[in-house]
Amino acid sequence: MHTTIMPTSTMNSQPQPGRPASMQGFDDMTPLSHVSIIAAVFLPVGVSIIACAIAIAKSFRGKRDLPSRIASYIMMSSLGFGFVQVLHQIMVLTSANSDSATTALAAAAFFFLVYVMLSQLYLTLVTYLRIRWQVRLELGLFDWYLHLPCAATASILGLLFYSYDGLGALGLLCLSSSSPNGYMVTLSIAVLALINSVAALACRRSISADLDEANIHVQTAESDFYQASSIFSTKSQDHTSFKANKSHLAQEPVLDSQTARLRDRWIVQLNDMGISTRLASMVTVSVFIFAPIFVSSLAVSVVQGFGMVDLAANVLITVILNSLAAGNAVGFLYSCRQATRTVSDDDVA
């Protein structure tokens, strides 16, 4: 098993044999560089934890619909992901760690990350089926039908991650490492993120098309309704014209309450769906950021060995992952603010 970062006081010493190649570039850094890396890691973690905590508190105020409940589960997982990273980073920087402890924490963080992505994908599927096809998915008490498959899959992948030699013990929670296994794990995360992004954006586009059609229908009905109703507001009409206009009014289409209710339901669901779209957009962007980093890191590694480039990639990955968690929470808070009312499960089912 690989060893991890040494204490700050020994950073300038000669790298020890067996030390991960991606961490050896850390030895030649100045104290200011150490501070910069710590700030780059802890700042997004702190923002993520604060935003997720506020979003969770917000989500439990009143009874909300299923997509919002799933979003709160995603936030909890993001919160756990942030705390695990904080513990991992403290242990690495203080050297109060062992290979097994840091690897276990990295596996836990990997579990939370996979759970977030699977839950987000489930949110997309549930929202699409309910709105597009009016299909209700029974989730059981406390939504355990959701938690069980997501947690089981994330646990299996987390154990596989834990079993790989060296992964997670590389410091800075690095999901890319100097080994083929490290790049394989990161590539699998990128592929899952890309699938998640495409599904969420496709769902958003499909629902938006239905919403536009419903809005046109409702606006036409409202226009006909108000045009017909305005006849009664004319004060200068005689009895004969009033009766004729009243007969004409009876034939005018009126506002379809079912359509209006469906339109309102779509609007509320779209507000919740905005969470998935915002996070999916951030994940998509991060995937495109990942690709050149890993390609350049691999190219430089082939030419002159692993070192600072790989370390920089590790730091950037940590920042991006925490930014995703924070973006999820911020997107949820924004969608809650945009929603004009709170609906129950019966209203959206």
The yes-or-no verdict on residue 129 having pLDDT over 70 is: yes
The pLDDT assigned to 147 comes to 78
The yes-or-no verdict on residue 4 having pLDDT over 70 is: no
Which of the two residues, 136 and 284, has the higher pLDDT score? 136
Summarize pLDDT for 195-240 with one digit per residue, the tens: 666 666 666 666 666 666 656 665 665 565 555 555 444 444 444 4
The pLDDT assigned to 47 comes to 61
The pLDDT assigned to 108 comes to 74
The pLDDT assigned to 250 comes to 42
Tokens of 67: 């997509």
Tokens of 116: 């977030």
Cβ neighbours of residue 93 under 8 Å, at least 6 residues apart? 5, 7, 8, 38
The pLDDT assigned to 116 comes to 72
The pLDDT assigned to 191 comes to 63
The yes-or-no verdict on residue 7 having pLDDT over 50 is: no
CA distance 11 to 6: 6
CA distance 244 to 139: 56
Specify which of 156-170, 176-190, 220-234, 326-340 reaches the highest per-range mean pLDDT: 156-170
186-200 average pLDDT score = 62
Return the CATH fold of 31-231+250-348.
Rhopdopsin 7-helix transmembrane proteins (1.20.1070)
Tokens of 47: 């923002």
The pLDDT assigned to 155 comes to 82
CA distance 137 to 124: 13
CA distance 92 to 289: 26
Helix axes 239-251, 180-229, angle to 10 degrees: 150
Summarize pLDDT for 309-345 with one digit per residue, the tens: 555 555 555 555 555 555 555 555 555 554 433 334 4
Size (the chain), residues: 349
The residues spanned by each domain of the chain are 31-231+250-348
Summarize pLDDT for 77-123 with one digit per residue, the tens: 666 766 666 666 666 566 555 666 666 776 777 777 777 777 777 77
The pLDDT assigned to 63 comes to 52
CA distance 162 to 71: 27
The yes-or-no verdict on residue 242 having pLDDT over 50 is: no
Indicate the residue type of 270: L
The yes-or-no verdict on residue 258 having pLDDT over 80 is: no
The pLDDT assigned to 46 comes to 62
Q: pLDDT band at residue 146, thresholds of 50, 70 and 90?
A: confident
Summarize pLDDT for 8-60 with one digit per residue, the tens: 434 444 444 444 444 444 444 444 445 555 555 555 556 656 666 666 666 56
The pLDDT assigned to 162 comes to 64
The pLDDT assigned to 143 comes to 73
The yes-or-no verdict on residue 280 having pLDDT over 70 is: no
The pLDDT assigned to 349 comes to 38
224 contacts 253 by C-beta, under 8 angstroms: yes
Which of the two residues, 332 and 168, has the higher pLDDT score? 332
167-182 average pLDDT score = 45
Tokens of 321: 């992952």
0.85 cut: is pTM over it?
no
